[in-house]
Structure 1
Amino acid sequence: MRNILLTPGLLLLAACTVGPDYDGPPAVNSANAEQGFVREETGTVRAEPTLARWWESLGDPVLDALEQRALAGNPDLAMAQARLAEARASLGEVRADRNPSLSAMGVAAHLRVPDIGDNGENAEADNGSDTNSSNIYNLGLNASWEVDLFGGHRRQVEAAEANIGAAEANLADAQVSLTSAIAQAYLNLRDRRERIILAEQAVEHRASLLEMERQRFEQGVVSRPSVDQAESRLASARSDLAPLRAEADSFLNALAILVGEVPGSVDGMLAQHAPVPLPPAEIAIGDPAGLLARRPDIRAAERQLAASYANLGVAKAAGLPRLSFFGILGIGGTELSDLTQLDDFTAIAAPMLQWNFLDFGRNRARVGQAEARQDAAEAQYRSTVLGALRDVEDALSSFRYRRQAVAELARAEASAARIVDHARQRYELGAASRRELLDTELAHNAATSQLSAARAALTLDFIAIEKALGLGWQADS
């Protein structure tokens, strides 16, 4: 009857799980679908954005190819994938710890024991007798199983599962960072090459103006300082080329490294000139609630918070009694043939209750550490959410005002182009000098350069929006 009552009692104890149950992350003010983002404007819609391959909206096949090469070969992604595999293997180990363990052992020993006389002294010293010796042979099986009385092991499983979720989110976050870095480097490369072309045109105009000033100086129309000024402006224009070319090479190198290859490996596919791609006319940004569910760093922080709850339960269970069962089955003797005597074996089976109740506050301190880590994880989650909201709002604001600047610079460039056309017509009619024409062309070159840089910055702002929204990863990766 005692055994019958023991089993239900153990089941009731095994159903007990200490520590707080995790019921989701804390709410963060303003992160809801009704309010939307503060800096929303015309050109953005609350439709849920496309999670993966956002860069295809730029319509640049070279960029598309670079992104695919990077997703396949980037070493940072490989590291994140390895960490995910490690987390999954760790869960397998934790789950296996719930099962009984069974081990085999074998012993073969030779013992030499001195004879002891009746007086308790070494008999060999009295009569010179030899020591006794014997052999021992033994084969056995050891089995043990710990009952999860207070749910400490179940909390370990919960923590391991949460760690897998965090590793998956970290992998997705690595994809978000990588795809945006590829797009940024590509846009910067195209921008620098465009600026190099415009700078070379400015050098040509400055060289023509210098030649004209030299001719006018020889004719006595202008003084030497006019020539010196033209030479200075030409040298200054030429000096603009070197840093632009160095930056272009740097972005080429960055793209090669990002795709997981050596510098120079992508030079061939980027040799042809191409314009800077522009963002789409309308951008889907979703809402703050969707951001919380989608952005990988928020997902990782939430999973780490869940793990901290489970680890607190593990710490609390460690200070409570532990019940385990162990058994030993062995056979052997002083002769090797005794190992075959199956009717002569030793069997031991017994429960064992352990409780380290006098640990001088050690486990209380461990629980305090776990509680502090839980508080830190909750604060980290809130910080991550607030940082993500700021990223989106900053990117939306920058995109909004950059687009206004692009519109103004486009009008300025168009006006400068009309001035050039008018000056060329007057020059062809003999009503204007070549110097006047070159001056208007230089002004148009400067306006075009400003517009080109602003358009590139606008596309970079679009990339910042997509990154802030947590786009560029695939759920099945």
Structure 2
Amino acid sequence: MFGRKFTEFSCAAILILATPNLTAAESLRDSLRNAYQNSGLLVQNRALLRAADEKVAGAVAALRPVISWSSKFSHSYNDVANSDSVTTSLNAKWLLYDFGSSDLQTDALEKTVLATRESLVSIEQNVLLRAVTAHMNYRRSVEFVSLRSANVELIEQELRAAQDRFEVGEVTRTDVALAEARLASARAALAGAQGDLAKAAAEYHAVVGRKPGDLVTPSSLPKLPKDASAAIATARAHHPNLKRVQYEVAAAELALKVAQQAYRPKFEAGAGLSNVDLDSSLTRNLSLTVSGPIYSGGAIASASRAA
């Protein structure tokens, strides 16, 4: 008895899962979620944002000490004797002061990160808007196919009625021909609606990442601003494209200052330890380096003008 009930339950579950009409309905929220999760464009731009973040980390690292090591093996020989030596060294270098050029570079890259983030928000909006459009276009196409199909059925009934009335002599052959022409036109409209439905389904699949199921029409519209002026004010304050351009302008201004700082000198401190053949005493050294350009063939001025 239990085995029979289990078999019946299994068959019913298989039928439910295999029948498209019995699957759970998909709301607009489901379409938006799937589009957000499956969009390759968003994956790409998230990677670009992470890359921009790493550039900031690289710029910050320029203000920190850099420690390196090296080991050198050398072999020398002449007509009298041969000798081998191994030199091991440990060095540290630290940028002390560059008149704020590194800080400006870091600030410019941070502005670039913010601009990239707003660009990602804009792309997210476009992806979600495309998902909404695909969802609603598919729902519209489904309704059009239903209407065209019902229209074909109605005209088929009218054609049968016209043929019956022609057989009893109530109408002429012309009336029957007109009914047949209307049926052909209705079938052509149905074929067009079915083509639009296939195209809408393909667009939905491309945007959302899965084939459309039983899509549900939203029950209410989103809240809108009271008037056009309020909408424009909201867009000016929050639109990601405007905010992105503002950050890009700020980054460009900082890049100009960085280019102009290239004429300034840099102060660097250094320290090192070295040893030859691992048995001699350690050699220690400390250094303070001041460096700056004297002549660059116009490269610095060209970079400043470009910035």
The TM-score normalised by the length of structure 1 is: 0.54
Give 1:211 deviation, angstroms: 2.4
SS at match of 2:297: coil
Contact 1:159–1:311 under 8 Å retained in 2:
yes
Structure 1 equivalent of residue 188 of structure 2: 239
Contact 1:187–1:277 under 8 Å retained in 2:
no
SS at match of 1:359: coil
Structure 1 equivalent of residue 249 of structure 2: 305
User: 2:85 is matched by which residue type in structure 1?
Assistant: I
Question: RMSD between aligned alpha carbons?
Answer: 2.5
Contact 1:144–1:326 under 8 Å retained in 2:
yes
User: 2:298 is matched by which residue type in structure 1?
Assistant: G
Quick check: 1:192 aligned with 2:192? no
Deviation string 1:151-207 (CA, Å, 9 cap, x unpaired) is 221111111111221122122212211221111111111111111111112212222
Structure 2 equivalent of residue 369 of structure 1: 306
SS at match of 2:128: helix
Structure 1 equivalent of residue 110 of structure 2: 161
Contact 2:138–2:204 under 8 Å retained in 1:
no
Quick check: 1:331 aligned with 2:289? no
- Aligned residues with identical type, % of pairs: 24
SS at match of 1:356: coil
Distance 1:248 1:304, change over 3 A: same
What does residue range 67-466 of structure 1 map to in structure 2 within 5 Å? 67-112=32-77, 114=78, 130-259=79-208, 261=209, 263-264=210-211, 266-267=212-213, 269-270=214-215, 274-275=216-217, 277=219, 279=221, 283-284=224-225, 286-332=230-276, 336=277, 339-341=278-280, 344-370=281-307
Count of residue pairs the alignment pairs up: 280
Give 1:131 deviation, angstroms: 4.8
Structure 2 equivalent of residue 8 of structure 1: none
Give 1:313 deviation, angstroms: 1.6
Give 1:277 deviation, angstroms: 4.6
Distance 1:277 1:244, change over 3 A: farther
Quick check: 1:62 aligned with 2:30? no
Give 1:134 deviation, angstroms: 1.3
Contact 1:199–1:240 under 8 Å retained in 2:
yes
Deviation string 1:59-83 (CA, Å, 9 cap, x unpaired) is x971112222333332222222222
SS at match of 2:267: strand
Structure 1 equivalent of residue 6 of structure 2: none
Distance 1:254 1:287, change over 3 A: closer
Contact 1:191–1:276 under 8 Å retained in 2:
no
Give 1:220 deviation, angstroms: 4.6
User: 1:290 is matched by which residue type in structure 2?
Assistant: T
Structure 1 residue runs without a partner (length 5+): 1-59, 115-129, 371-477
C-alpha distance in 1, partners of 2:98/2:198? Answer: 64
C-alpha distance in 2, partners of 1:278/1:244? Answer: 26
Structure 2 residue runs without a partner (length 5+): 1-24
Contact 1:104–1:142 under 8 Å retained in 2:
yes
Contact 1:169–1:299 under 8 Å retained in 2:
yes
Give 1:103 deviation, angstroms: 0.5
Give 1:110 deviation, angstroms: 1.2
